[in-house]
């Protein structure tokens, strides 16, 4: 198999693995890339085509429907979608895409004549196809159901931006490191910035020195708003791979915990680069000893991750929906447990990278109903974040949607501060 065919074949394998086995992109990608002798250019190409095929999967379904009378099977649909994405959205030379896709079709026993004819048809109607737009009802049913009762959800804005590339945002350990930072950037605060670069993250200025980490702008804000954490005993219950923990560790001590040993290993690598040395635990948060109490608990709970859809487009692409029953129960249990580990006047920061009601306000409201000794402490952003007050509701919830901040793409994120009053 020549190099070009091999890269397309691997793209097909990765996408099939994600769809059929419900795997995360990173896991499937590593499985088919590591040790296969691809160079950096091939790897970037495979990464780019896979991510964009998942981002455009709903567009591709509409396009394929236009050109086929009977339904396609999963393999046909995946192979053709990845070819359509290369031609229509990534503007790769159509001649090469058609040839290589036909070669892969032969290998995976999809009728090559059919693939060839369909892609030629796409090429003949390129202008019309590139204008195809999706609507709410083209999204998976579970998504439509989750946002059904969501007030102020600007679906048109969401549809326009969810399939774009995420922006790269860095958070610095302190202001002085951002002042000395050499790459072109746009400041988002005194110690954070959006960076426009095609470099690998590890090639960006001062990566090795551990002066900054990658963290989305929206997910930085809840802890950035609240700078009064000096001398508090702090537990980060679900800490890996570490963004929120690094924010805390830049000014304070903290205990970091996570249930997942692989993610703890990533956390340790990050901590070592950033030269932080906190205490690390590897417990199920629900098993924490309630004799030891903290002043502050960061609960960045496991969730559907829908707010990170640009970085994790597999959420819409996978054949299975997120298990909302199990996630919502775990979110409730971890919040309840955190309340038992908190000192009087202590604070829980409950956060999720989600904007679904079921993972955000619903969890908080049912917790507050049961725990009358807790109340919401409204965020009051310090001076440098005054202009972001509009992100806080009258009830005190912080919420962003995965749309735009200025010219940059940001994640959807939710946070609330819960105070124990007795
Ligand atoms: C949203 S991620 C945390 C992200 C992290 N706070 C950050 O800023 O990089 C949720 C984490 O919760 C962990 N987790 C899931 N269930 C848990 C449990 N029962 N106890 C402790 N951690 C858990 C997962 O392994 C995952 O790393």
State both tokens at 351: 């956060």
Domains contained in the chain, CATH given: 3-134 (1.10.940.10), 165-214 (3.30.70), 218-420 (3.40.50.150)
- Atom index in ligand 1 nearest the CA of residue 260 equals 25
Choosing from 171, 259, 308 the residue with most ligand 1 atoms within 8 A of its CB, the one to mutate for a pocket test is 259
3-state secondary structure of 115: helix
Q: Dihedral sign, CA of 302, 307, 311, 314?
A: positive
pLDDT, tens digit only, all 422 positions of the chain: 898 999 999 999 999 999 999 999 999 999 999 988 999 999 999 999 999 999 999 999 999 999 998 889 999 999 999 999 999 999 999 999 999 999 999 999 999 999 999 999 999 999 999 999 999 999 999 999 999 877 778 888 899 999 999 999 999 999 999 999 999 999 999 999 999 998 999 999 999 999 999 999 999 999 999 767 788 999 999 999 999 999 999 999 999 999 999 999 999 999 999 999 999 999 999 999 999 999 999 999 999 999 999 999 999 999 999 999 999 999 999 999 999 999 999 999 999 999 999 999 999 999 999 999 999 999 988 889 999 999 999 999 999 999 899 999 999 999 999 999 99
- CA–centroid distance, 256 to ligand 1, in Å, is 10
For the Cβ of 329 lying below 6 angstroms from any atom of ligand 1, the answer is: no
- Atom index in ligand 1 nearest the CA of residue 246 equals 8
Cβ-contact 317, 375 below 8 angstroms: no
Residues 6 or more apart from 118 whose CB is under 8 A from it?
Answer: 64, 67, 68, 80
Cβ-contact 354, 306 below 8 angstroms: yes
Per-residue model confidence (pLDDT) at position 227? 67
User: How far apart (Å, rounded) are the C-alpha atoms in residues 46 and 30?
Assistant: 11
State both tokens at 182: 């050499």
Residue labelled with tokens 């959807």: 412
Q: Determine which residue's CA is closest to atom 17 belonging to ligand 1.
A: 259
**Planar angle of CA 196, 160, 47, nearest 5 degrees:** 50
For the Cβ of 312 lying below 6 angstroms from any atom of ligand 1, the answer is: no
Write out pLDDT tens, residues 228-263: 778 899 999 999 999 999 999 999 999 999 999 999
274 φ/ψ angles, rounded to the nearest 5 degrees? -85, -5
For the Cβ of 112 lying below 6 angstroms from any atom of ligand 1, the answer is: no
Q: Which helix (H) or strand (E) holds 338?
A: helix 324-340
Write out pLDDT tens, residues 50-94: 999 999 999 999 999 999 988 899 999 999 999 999 999 999 999
CA distances for 235 relative to 119, 223, 258, 347, 386, angstroms = 55, 14, 11, 11, 28
């Amino acid at each position: 198999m020549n190099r070009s065919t091999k890269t397309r074949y691997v793209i097909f394998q990765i996408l099939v693995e994600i769809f059929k086995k419900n795997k995360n992109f990173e896991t499937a990608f590593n499985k088919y890339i590591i040790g296969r002798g691809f160079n950096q250019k091939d790897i970037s190409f495979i990464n780019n085509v896979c991510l964009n095929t998942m981002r455009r999967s709903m567009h591709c379904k509409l396009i394929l429907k236009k050109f086929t009378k009977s339904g396609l099977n999963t393999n046909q649909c995946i192979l053709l979608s990845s070819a359509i994405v290369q031609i229509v959205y990534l503007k790769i030379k159509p001649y090469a895409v058609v040839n290589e896709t036909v070669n892969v079709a032969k290998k995976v026993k999809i009728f090559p004549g059919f693939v060839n004819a369909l892609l030629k048809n796409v090429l003949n109607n390129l202008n019309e196809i590139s204008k195809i737009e999706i609507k709410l009802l083209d999204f998976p049913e579970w998504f439509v159901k989750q946002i059904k009762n969501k007030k102020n959800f600007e679906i048109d804005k969401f549809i326009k931006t969810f399939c774009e590339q995420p922006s790269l945002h860095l958070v610095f350990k302190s202001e002085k490191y951002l002042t000395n930072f050499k790459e072109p950037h746009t400041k988002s605060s005194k110690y954070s910035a959006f960076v426009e670069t095609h470099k690998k993250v590890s090639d960006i200025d001062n990566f090795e020195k551990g002066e900054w980490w990658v963290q989305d702008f929206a997910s930085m804000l809840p802890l950035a708003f609240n700078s009064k954490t000096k001398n508090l005993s702090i537990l980060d219950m679900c800490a890996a791979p570490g963004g929120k923990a690094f924010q805390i560790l830049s000014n304070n001590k903290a205990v970091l915990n996570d249930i997942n040993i692989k993610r703890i290993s990533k956390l340790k690598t990050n901590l070592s680069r950033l030269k932080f040395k906190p205490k690390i635990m590897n417990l199920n948060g629900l098993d924490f000893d309630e004799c030891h109490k903290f002043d502050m608990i960061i609960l960045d709970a496991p969730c559907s991750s829908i707010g990170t859809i640009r970085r994790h487009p597999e959420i819409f692409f996978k054949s299975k929906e997120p298990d909302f029953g199990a996630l919502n129960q775990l979110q409730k249990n971890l919040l309840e447990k955190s309340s038992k580990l908190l000192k009087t006047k202590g604070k829980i920061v409950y956060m999720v990278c989600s904007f679904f009601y079921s993972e955000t306000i619903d969890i908080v409201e049912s917790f507050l109903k049961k725990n009358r000794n807790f109340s919401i402490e409204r965020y009051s952003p310090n001076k440098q974040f005054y202009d972001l007050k509009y992100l806080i509701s009258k009830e005190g919830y912080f919420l962003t949607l995965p749309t735009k901040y200025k010219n940059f793409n940001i994640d959807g994120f939710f946070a609330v501060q819960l105070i124990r009053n007795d």
